[in-house]
Every structure is written in C-alpha cells, then in structure tokens.
Amino acid sequence: MKTAWAKNIRVAASALAATAALCVASPLSAHGTAAGAAQRQAFHTARSVQAGSPLPGDLLIADRGNDRILIVTPDKRIIWQMSFANLGGPRGVNSLGPDDAFFTPDHKHIIVNEEDDHAIAVVDIATKKVVWSYGHPGVPGSAPGYLHTPDDAYMLPSGLVTVADIRNQRILFIDPRTNRVVKQYGTTGLRRHNPPVSFASPNGDTPLPGGGMIVTEIGGSYADVLDKHGHVLYTVHFPDVAYPSDTQMMPNGDLLTVDYNTPGRVEMVNRQGKVVWEYYRTAGSGELSHPSLALPLPNGNIAVNDDYNDRVVVIDPRRNRIVWQYGHTGVPGAAPGYLNIPDGMDLMPADVQLGRAR
C-alpha cells in the first residue's frame, strides 16, 4: 500500500518475531480432498451476513502488526485466520507481516505481499498452505526472481499475477506456472512520472474490468488509468493528497484514494481531477491515522484501513461518518476484536462461499 521506509520503525517494533514462509515456492494446485471440502463447508456454515449491515459481506484483513490474515463477519466474528509466524522457512528471515491480501478470482486462494520482506505469495484457504511464491525474502533486487518493496499483488482472471514493485519503479506481470515476468510497465530503476514508460514510486496496480489497470504514483500524487494494452487513457492529480495509496475506481468512473498521513484523508475525484467527495477529520474519534486503502462497497459505503489507529472502518459517504468498525481505536492487540496495523483488506461477496468457486 505504501513504501516500506515510511513504516519500518513502527512495524518492526510491533510485528511478531517470525520466520517467513515465502522463501519456498510450490506450484499452484487444486485441493479437492474430503478434509478440504469439509473445512470449506464449515467456513460457509459460520458465515452470516446481517441484512442491512453497513458491511455487506465478510472482510479479509491483512493484520500486519500481528503477522496474520483473518476474515471477520459483519457481526465481528473471526471465521478464519492464518498466522505467518508459524509457517517457518529455511532462510531464517523474520517476517514483518502481510501488507496486503486479496482474494483470487476463484475465491479458493488469497494472494499476499510482504512489502518489507520483498516477496509475494498465494495461500490456499482450506489448507492454510503457501502454494506459490515469488521473490527472495529479506533480499531486495531487480533481477529475475527478485522484488524490491512489492505492493498490491493481484491474481488476474487469466492466472497472471500483477504487482507494483515500488522501489524498482515498475509494474510486473508474472506467470506463476513458469515464475517468469511476461510483461512490464515502467522502466526498472527510473523514477519519473511519464506513464507508461516510467513511474514515480508506483504503489498501486488495481485491476479493472476488461484488462485495464489503475496505477497509483506516490511521486506527484497521480493515478494513471491504463487500458489492457498499457496505453494511458487519462491521468489525474489528487489536489489535497500528499501520499496517495491504492486508488480504486467507483462504479461511475470516479477515482477513490487515501492520503497515507495523519490526519488521513479519503478523497474522490472525477476524471478531470475535481474533488467530488472527501472524508477528512483533524481531531476526535473520526480522525484517520495513515489510512492505506479505501474500498468501495456494493451498498455504497466505503471501507477504510485505518492503519495506525489499529482498526478497519466503514464510512457512509451520505452522512460522512463512520458507521462500522473492527478494532479498538489506537489500541493494538491480537485478541478477538483487536487489530495491530491492519494494512490490507478485501470483501468476500455475500453470495460467495468461502474457499469455493462461484
């Protein structure tokens, strides 16, 4: 969601001491065992989406400071979690926690990036096993097989994996079957706003329907909307955002981003860069501290990772107020109901069974 150097001090102090598991890559594979099917059915039985809830589905959270990913229901029950601290690995690299987590298109897997460990991985939901990874944990680089501060890894419907490789100034498309980069946007090592030839610290690569992408650039506070061929359709500048993170597209085409600062801001602009809505508080319980992602929800609400407040919130833009929260504001913890630097999230649609295809 954001560059590693902006968070190293707090993350290093709060993350659990753990051995990274991303150093061993294995091929993506099916998991149709009876045990796996039974576990997936148990997940589905546990789910309960409350009618009229501000959160219209279960929420996947990358709880970075606790070195785990978890899924919570609208009524705030944990129905699934996985600790990265217990995975182990031969390289002896300490994990600094999952930075982002997104469901894959089949909803059987979760793709995770560990920004400060310079690696990304795919996790099987039913077995809680890493089934594919890319990068050398703890070793940044730009050569084939290496990443430098990877952010926002997504799996596309085609099976390719995209990732914003921030300090290498590029967007990569990786084929998990061969572990090779098959396409790249940006020029490795060139930090300059000139999309798609070069980018200024790209920290977001949000996929769009039809194969396009939104690239968020920290340098200059830009978002670039690209078509499926990588051609620039348009670029917007966020006028009130110093540190944009993970721009998303609204159903009407407006662009939604956050300012990774304190006080934090959620800002929505049209394609001309005009602000059409914002959430901004400078004091009180509504103030945000280093928000890293604003996610539009199907019911019109907006979910926000409020990282340094140790919570995920849902904002009703019609009332411009927080209407749902998981986590205790400014109180990090690992017990049920608590989070510690929640840095990524994704929504499980209400009509999708956890761990099973649509």
- Whichever domain contains 152, its CATH number is 2.120.10.30
- pLDDT in the model for residue 96: 67
The parent domain of residue 257 ranges over 4-349
C-alpha distances (whole Å) from 295 to each of 70, 87, 120, 209 are: 17, 29, 21, 16
Quickly list DSSP for 268-304.
Answer: EE-TT--EEEEEE-SSSTT--SSEEEEEE-TTS-EEE
Given a contact cutoff of 8 angstroms between Cβ atoms, the answer to whether 256 and 248 are in contact is yes
Write the CA distances from 195 to 23, 148, 155, 212, 288, integer angstroms.
32, 20, 22, 14, 30
User: What is the per-residue pLDDT for 18?
Assistant: 31
SS (H, E, C) 95-145: CCCCCEEEECCCCCEEEEEEHHHCEEEEEECCCCEEEEEEECCCCCCCCCC
Find the distance separating the first CA and the last CA of the chain, reported in whole Å: 28
Q: What pLDDT shows up at residue 2?
A: 53
What confidence score (pLDDT) does residue 54 get? 96
Q: How does strand 255-259 pair with strand 202-207?
A: unpaired
Tell me the whole-structure pTM to 2 decimals: 0.85
214 in a domain, yes or no?
yes
Distance CA 162, CA 181 (A): 9
Rounded to the nearest angstrom, the gap between the alpha carbon of residue 298 and the centroid of all alpha carbons in its chain is 18
Q: How far is CA 334 from the centre of its chain?
A: 20
pLDDT tens readout for residues 253-262? 999 999 999 9
For residue 86, being part of any structural domain is answered with yes
Quote the pLDDT of residue 159: 96
Q: Count Cα atoms within 13 angstroms, Cβ side, for 251.
A: 7
Q: How far apart are CA 26 and CA 121, in angstroms?
A: 10
- Are 183 and 217 contacting, i.e. CB atoms less than 8 angstroms apart? no
Cα(129)–Cα(123) distance, integer angstroms: 5
Q: How far is Cα 133 from Cα 121, in angstroms, rounded to an integer?
A: 4
Please tell me the predicted confidence (pLDDT) of residue 355. Answer: 59
Does residue 98 fall inside a structural domain? yes
The answer as to whether 354 is a domain residue is no
Q: What is the pLDDT of residue 259?
A: 98
Pair of tokens at residue 18: 């753990």
Query: Looking at residue 138, what is its pLDDT?
Result: 87
**Model confidence pLDDT, tens digit, residues 155-193:** 999 999 999 999 999 999 999 999 999 999 999 999 999
Establish if 358 belongs to a structural domain: no
* Measured torsion, CA atoms of residues 343, 131, 186, 4, in degrees rounded to the nearest 10: 30
Number of domains comprising the chain: 1
For the record, the structure tokens of 248 come out as 């998303």
pLDDT given at position 349 = 81
Please state, in angstroms and rounded to a whole number, the distance separating the CA atoms of residues 325 and 358.
28
User: What pLDDT shows up at residue 21?
Assistant: 32
Per DSSP, 93 falls in state P
CB of 149 closer than 8 Å to CB of 167: yes
User: Residue 144: which residues within 8 A CB-CB, separation 6 or more?
Assistant: 180, 181
Q: Is residue 356 part of a domain?
A: no
The answer to whether residue 118 is domain-embedded is yes
pLDDT < 50 positions in the chain:
3-49, 88-93, 357-358
Q: Report yes or no on 88 lying in a domain.
A: yes
The pLDDT assigned to 352 comes to 79
CA separation for the pair 294, 312 (Å, rounded): 10
